[in-house]
Amino acid sequence: EFYTKKLGMEVRQDVTMAELGNFRWLTVGPAGQPDISIVLMAIPGPPVMDAETAEQVKTLMAKGFAGTVFLTTDDVYADCEQLKSRGVEFTEDPEERPYGIDSGFRDPSGNSFRLTQVRELSAA
């Protein structure tokens, strides 16, 4: 629900593969942009990794150790307010930077997102 209800993305694929121990392949993406998809998957346990390792990975994920998803917008202030009204909790409110106006939030699993209004930049 975070990705669909709060971020307004659409589900692209949602398939459970019995032959892989009921592994779920779930992709979402921005509405109207079929070439962009985000793969959502649970942290695997045995036999891919032991339970202790899986727990360590979950702890690191909650701290945001994985990569960051960058989203761009034409109006970061308006989009931040809209996302906040849907329950998205921002870790960083919009702030002026040399490259534009930047803000940050995380999903319930701890994945890091940047929402940025990119400024027109010229080559140095």
Position 22 in a domain = no
Give the domain CATH number at 85: 3.10.180.10
Number of structural domains the chain divides into: 1
**What pLDDT shows up at residue 64?**
67
**What pLDDT shows up at residue 47?**
66
Structural domain including 101 reads: 66-124
**What pLDDT shows up at residue 90?**
97
**What pLDDT shows up at residue 111?**
85
Q: Are strands 112-118 and 9-17 parallel, antiparallel or unpaired?
A: unpaired
**What pLDDT shows up at residue 59?**
82
**What pLDDT shows up at residue 79?**
97
107 within 8 A of 64, measured Cβ to Cβ: no
Position 45 in a domain = no
pTM of the entire structure?
0.78
Position 85 in a domain = yes
| Residues of the chain scoring pLDDT < 50 | none
23 within 8 A of 39, measured Cβ to Cβ: no
Condensed to tens digits (0 to 9), the pLDDT of residues 48-81 reads: 678 888 888 878 877 767 778 999 999 999 999 9
